[in-house]
């Protein structure tokens, strides 16, 4: 059962929500009846229900095999082909997991192909020299430059280290069913593959094998994740549509001049939630000269860098705070006989209690400073809760895009930099730079 809470606090009034109710209901209907722009990209809406145990078993089998043969698995992809997995894995892992060495049975999952940094790839290649590594290469189009470069380099290294046959057993490709260079290569080399359905866009693909395979390799329960998404879908369909409420609240705030939304967390493991969410909302809504600019911060860390701007800068900001009710571990602040740091007044208190008071105090200050706050409360960080949160944000994004009057499921602007880059690189068909 879905147990995430959404509070609109005093960001929007009940009267405002009522007033916009008809617009929100129309957007919900457009999404639910697949009658709006981009309706050929709605495969994500019933994906949790369509993801059967056969597919989950196949993913878990391949994940188990990679876990049994590799100490490191490099996940190659960019944008929607990496952010979801990165967000879920970081949220569920220990804070210092990146510093622990990978081992067979519990391999380190690291990411590549999300940049074109020579130093990043050189240093990654050096790191992998003495490792038994595998590769999950993810590209829906199969032609994206960043992952293609990383894959070309790491595939060659893997073949040199292990031989072509073993390398082929350690490479899994996730791509289009038929089209694209990656599909052709996978068929030729005999890689195991999973398909990204045509009707699921990259930024909505975390609950497809794109996200599920890396998450399973990292050792997490993908059934619970998918079940969480199902729970949220069931809740919204049963009339408690908190996704529609969030979309409506954002729309009211936008109409009232709040053009920037900051997603806030108080838990460093949720940093990549913000990165995933920024792509989801930015790529879905930023078009036709419209859209709320999505930003994110990690508090209390960023209160010491961005806090001033949020408290007293231009009043075009609102915040959505993702708050985690229960932490995993217990740690109490000790008493100190000298009390030179003056902390004895909170001795005996849990660190999380102080964090929660920082959250409450910041909320009050930001409300006083004219920054409306929405609040999403997670009971804890678990696979089920993250599944709920993913579906909540995806559904709200579709509704919000329709309320804004854009097609939330295309991204025509993403091509522009690519055209210029290809021209500058003198890619065949693009001609020399002028
Ligand atoms: O959401 C999107 O469509 C993009 O961010 C893509 O996910 C990203 O560009 C990667 O594309 P591909 O999976 O085709 O390599």
DSSP one-letter string for 235-296: HHHTT--HHHHHHHHHHHHHHTT--EEEEEESSGGGHHHHHHHHHHHHHHH-BTTB-PEEEE
Q: What separation in Å is there between the alpha carbon of 207 and the centre of ligand 1?
A: 15
- Span 376-386, average pLDDT: 98
CA–CA dist 30, 34 (Å, integer): 6
Q: Check pLDDT > 70 for residue 367.
A: yes
Question: Tens digits of per-residue pLDDT, 392-403?
Answer: 999 999 999 999
Q: How many CB atoms neighbour CB 57 within 10 A?
A: 11
- CB of residue 283 inside a 6 A radius of ligand 1: yes
The pLDDT assigned to 433 comes to 61
The pLDDT assigned to 313 comes to 96
The pLDDT assigned to 169 comes to 97
- CB of residue 388 inside a 6 A radius of ligand 1: no
Q: Check pLDDT > 80 for residue 434.
A: no
Binned at pLDDT 50, 70 and 90, residue 431 comes out as confident
- Span 20-25, average pLDDT: 98
Question: Tens digits of per-residue pLDDT, 41-77?
Answer: 999 999 999 999 999 999 999 999 999 999 999 999 9
- CB of residue 128 inside a 6 A radius of ligand 1: no
CA–CA dist 108, 11 (Å, integer): 42
The pLDDT assigned to 143 comes to 86
User: Can you tell me which residue has the tokens 């890396």?
Assistant: 214
Cis peptide before 300 (omega within 30 of 0): yes
Q: What separation in Å is there between the alpha carbon of 63 and the centre of ligand 1?
A: 23
Q: Which atom of ligand 1 is nearest to the CA of 204?
A: 1
- CB of residue 113 inside a 6 A radius of ligand 1: no
- Span 72-91, average pLDDT: 98
Q: Which atom of ligand 1 is nearest to the CA of 78?
A: 10
- CB of residue 248 inside a 6 A radius of ligand 1: no
- Span 355-373, average pLDDT: 97
- Span 155-161, average pLDDT: 98
The larger pLDDT score, comparing residue 419 to residue 323, is at 323
What residue's CA is closest to ligand 1, atom 2? 202
Q: What separation in Å is there between the alpha carbon of 209 and the centre of ligand 1?
A: 14
What residue's CA is closest to ligand 1, atom 5? 79
- Span 342-347, average pLDDT: 98
- CB of residue 147 inside a 6 A radius of ligand 1: yes
Mutate to test the pocket of ligand 1, among 40, 82, 140 (most ligand atoms within 8 A of CB): 140
Collapsing DSSP to helix, strand or coil, 410 comes out as: coil
Its sign, for the CA torsion 413, 310, 21, 34, is positive
What residue's CA is closest to ligand 1, atom 8? 79
- CB of residue 38 inside a 6 A radius of ligand 1: no
Question: Tens digits of per-residue pLDDT, 104-145?
Answer: 999 999 999 999 999 999 999 999 999 999 999 999 888 899
Q: How many CB atoms neighbour CB 234 within 10 A?
A: 15
Q: What separation in Å is there between the alpha carbon of 308 and the centre of ligand 1?
A: 35
CA–CA dist 139, 175 (Å, integer): 5
Angle between helices 271-285 and 383-404 (to 10 degrees): 20
The pLDDT assigned to 42 comes to 98
CB–CB of 279/86 below 8 Å?
Answer: no
Binned at pLDDT 50, 70 and 90, residue 10 comes out as confident
Question: Tens digits of per-residue pLDDT, 402-428?
Answer: 999 999 999 999 888 888 999 999 999
Q: What separation in Å is there between the alpha carbon of 277 and the centre of ligand 1?
A: 15
Catalytic residue numbers?
A: 283, 304, 418
The pLDDT assigned to 416 comes to 87
CB–CB of 268/423 below 8 Å?
Answer: no
- CB of residue 411 inside a 6 A radius of ligand 1: yes
Q: Which atom of ligand 1 is nearest to the CA of 147?
A: 15
The pLDDT assigned to 287 comes to 97
């Amino acid at each position: 059962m879905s147990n995430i809470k959404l509070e609109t606090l005093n960001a929007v009034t009940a009267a405002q929500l009522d007033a916009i109710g008809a617009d929100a209901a129309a957007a919900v209907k457009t999404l639910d009846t697949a009658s709006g722009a981009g309706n050929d990209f709605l495969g994500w809406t019933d994906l949790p229900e369509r993801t059967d145990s056969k597919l989950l078993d196949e993913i878990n089998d391949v994940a188990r095999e990679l876990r049994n043969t590799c100490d490191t698995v490099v996940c190659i992809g960019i944008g929607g082909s990496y952010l979801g997995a990165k967000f879920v894995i970081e949220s569920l892992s220990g804070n210092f997991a990146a510093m622990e060495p990978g081992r067979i049975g519990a391999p380190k999952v690291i990411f590549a192909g999300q940049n074109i940094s020579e130093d990043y790839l050189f240093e990654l290649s050096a790191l992998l020299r003495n490792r038994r590594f595998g590769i999950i290469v993810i590209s829906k189009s199969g032609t994206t430059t960043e992952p293609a470069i990383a894959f070309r380099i790491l595939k060659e290294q893997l073949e040199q280290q292990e031989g072509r046959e073993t390398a082929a057993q350690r490479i899994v490709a996730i791509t289009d069913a038929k089209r694209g260079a990656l599909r052709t290569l996978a068929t030729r080399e005999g890689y195991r593959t999973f398909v990204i359905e045509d009707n699921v866009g990259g930024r909505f693909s975390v609950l497809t094998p794109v996200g599920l395979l890396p998450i399973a390799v990292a050792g997490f329960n993908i059934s619970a994740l998918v079940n969480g998404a199902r729970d949220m879908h069931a809740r919204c369909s049963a009339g408690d549509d908190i996704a529609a409420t969030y979309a409506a609240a954002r729309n009211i705030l936008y109409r009232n001049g709040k053009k920037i939304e900051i997603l806030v967390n108080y838990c460093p493991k949720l940093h990549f939630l913000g990165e995933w969410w920024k792509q989801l909302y930015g790529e879905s809504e930023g078009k036709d000269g419209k859209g709320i600019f999505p930003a994110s911060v990690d508090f209390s860390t960023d209160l010491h860098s961005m806090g001033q701007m949020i408290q007293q800068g231009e009043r075009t900001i609102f915040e959505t705070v993702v708050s985690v009710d229960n932490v995993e571990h217990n740690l109490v602040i000790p008493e100190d006989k000298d009390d030179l740091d003056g902390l004895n007044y909170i001795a005996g208190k849990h660190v999380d209690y102080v964090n929660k008071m920082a959250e409450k105090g910041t909320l009050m200050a930001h409300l006083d400073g004219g920054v409306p706050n929405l609040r999403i409360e997670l009971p804890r960080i678990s696979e089920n809760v993250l599944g709920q949160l993913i579906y909540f944000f995806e559904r709200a994004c579709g509704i919000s895009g329709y309320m804004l009057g854009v097609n939330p499921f295309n991204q025509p602007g993403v091509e522009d930099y690519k055209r210029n880059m290809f021209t500058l690189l003198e890619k065949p068909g693009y001609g020399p730079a002028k």
